Amino acid sequence: MNWGLEIAKAVGLAVVMFTFLAVVGAMFGVLLERKIGGWIQSRLGPKHVGPQGLLQTIADTVKLLQKEHITPRAADVAIFNTAPLIVAVAGLMDWIVIPFGPTLIVRDLNIGVVFFAAMASLTVVGILVGGFASNNKYSLLGGLRSASQMISYELPLAMALVAVAMQAGTLSTLGIVNAQAQRGWFVFLQFPAFVIFLIAATAEVNRVPFDLPEAESELVAGYFSEYTGMRFALFQLGEYAEMFAMAAMATTLFLGGWRGPLLPPVIWFLLKMYLIVFFLMWTRWTFPRLRLDQLLNLSWKLLLPAGLIWILITGFFITFF
C-alpha cells in the first residue's frame, strides 16, 4: 500500500472536485438562481456580462476578491476568520459520498448516509461561532436563531435518511441506488420520507421559506452582518454547496441516482439533481418566509412525529410482508 501515491491521488481528486463544485455549483448556481428568480418574477436576470449574463458570477467573484477585509473592532479575529472556513469546508465534504455514476464516487463509505448527516451538522458550528465572533447584537441573534433552526431540522432529515436506509438495507449511498434497481425509485415507495427530506433540506441550508435568520428585512443579514467581501462569499459558497449536496442526496436516495435508459449515467444524475435544484429555487421565489416559531413548530410538532411514525409504518410493512 503505497501511502504517498494514495495521498497524491486523493489531493488531485480533491482539487479537481472542489474546483468543479465551486465553478459549477456555486458560481453557476448563483447565476441560475438569479435567472430563475427573474423568470418567475417576470423580469430579466443578469444579462450584460457575457452572453446572456453567463459571466456574471465570475465578474462578481473578481470584484469580491479585491474588496477590503473589514474586521469589526471588537471582534475576535481568529474565530471571525475561521467561521466561514468551517461552513465552506463542511459544505464541500458532503460531496465525498455522492455517487455520480456506478463507480463515480469519491469513496463509497460504508456509513455514507451517516457521514452526510454528520457534515450537515458541522455547518451549524460555523454559523453559530460566526455570529458570536462578530460582536454584534444582530449577528449574535441571527447566529443563535439560525443554529436553533438548523438543529431542529436535522432530526427530520435523519428520519428520512433512516427510512430510506430501512428500505434499502444499507447505509452506503451506492447500495441505496442499487437497491432502487429492484424496488423502483424510492420516491414512490417512500414518498413521505421524500417530502420530509425536501422540507428539512430547505431548512438546513437556510433557504426561503426558512431563511428568517438571514433575511434582509429582519435582522439586517443575521449572522452575515459583519462579514464583507470574500468571507461573505465563503459563507455563501458553503450554503450553495450544501444546497446542491442536498439536491444530489435527494436524487441518490429517492430518484434512483444515475439510473436511466440511453443517456450516460452522469448525465442522468446531473439532470435529476438540477431538477431538484430548480424545485428548491422555485420554492424560494414563490413562498413567503415563515416566522421562527412557526418554523420550529413545524419541525418539532409535525415533521419529527411524522418521521417517527413513518419509520414505524415502513418497519411494519417490511417486517410483516
Partner 1 sequence: MLLLDWLYVGVFAVVGLGMAALPLAIVWALAPRAPYPQKRLTYESGVVPFGQAWAQFNVRYYLFGLVFVIFDVEVIYLYPWAIVFQRLGKFAFVEMLIFLVILLLGLAYAWRKGALEWA
Partner 2 sequence: MGELAAFIILSAITLVSAVVVVTSRNIVRSALSLVPTFFGVTGLYILLQAEFVAGIQVLIYAGAITVLILFVIMLTEGGTGLRVRQTNEQVPLSILAAAVVAVLLIGVLAQTPWPRATESLPQYTASGIGEALLTNLVLVFEVTSLVLLVALMGAIIVARRER
Which single residue is written with the C-alpha cell 463544485?
A: 21
> Cβ of residue 286: shortest distance to partner 2, in angstroms?
31
Nearest CB to partner 1, comparing residues 42 and 217: 217
Q: What is the DSSP letter of 263?
A: S
Binding-site partner at residue 79 among partner 1, partner 2, none, CB < 5 to 8 Å by type: partner 2
Q: Which long-range contacts (CB under 8 A, 24 or more apart) does 167-171 make?
A: 167/314, 167/318, 171/110, 171/111, 171/112, 171/113, 171/114
Q: How many residues bind partner 2 (CB under 8 A)?
A: 33
Does 138 help bind partner 1 (rule: CB under 8 A)? yes
Binding-site partner at residue 96 among partner 2, partner 1, none, CB < 5 to 8 Å by type: partner 1
Does 107 help bind partner 1 (rule: CB under 8 A)? yes
Binding-site partner at residue 225 among partner 2, partner 1, none, CB < 5 to 8 Å by type: partner 1
Question: Would you give the end-to-end CA distance of the chain in angstroms?
Answer: 46
Burial 39-62 (b: 16+ CB within 10 A, else e): eeeeeebbeeeeeebebbbeebbe
Does an H or E element contain 302, and which?
A: none
Instruction: Tell me the per-residue interface mask from 236 to 265 with partner 1, x by CB under 8 A, - otherwise.
Output: -x----------------------------
d(CA 170, CA 299): 26
Torsion of CA 121, 123, 125, 127, to 10 degrees: -140
**Residues 58 to 87 in contact with partner 2, rule: CB under 8 A:** 74, 76, 78-79, 82, 86
- Return residues touching partner 2 (CB under 8 A): 1, 3, 74, 76, 78-79, 82, 86, 109-111, 114-115, 117-122, 124-125, 128-129, 132-133, 135, 137, 140, 144, 147, 151, 154, 171
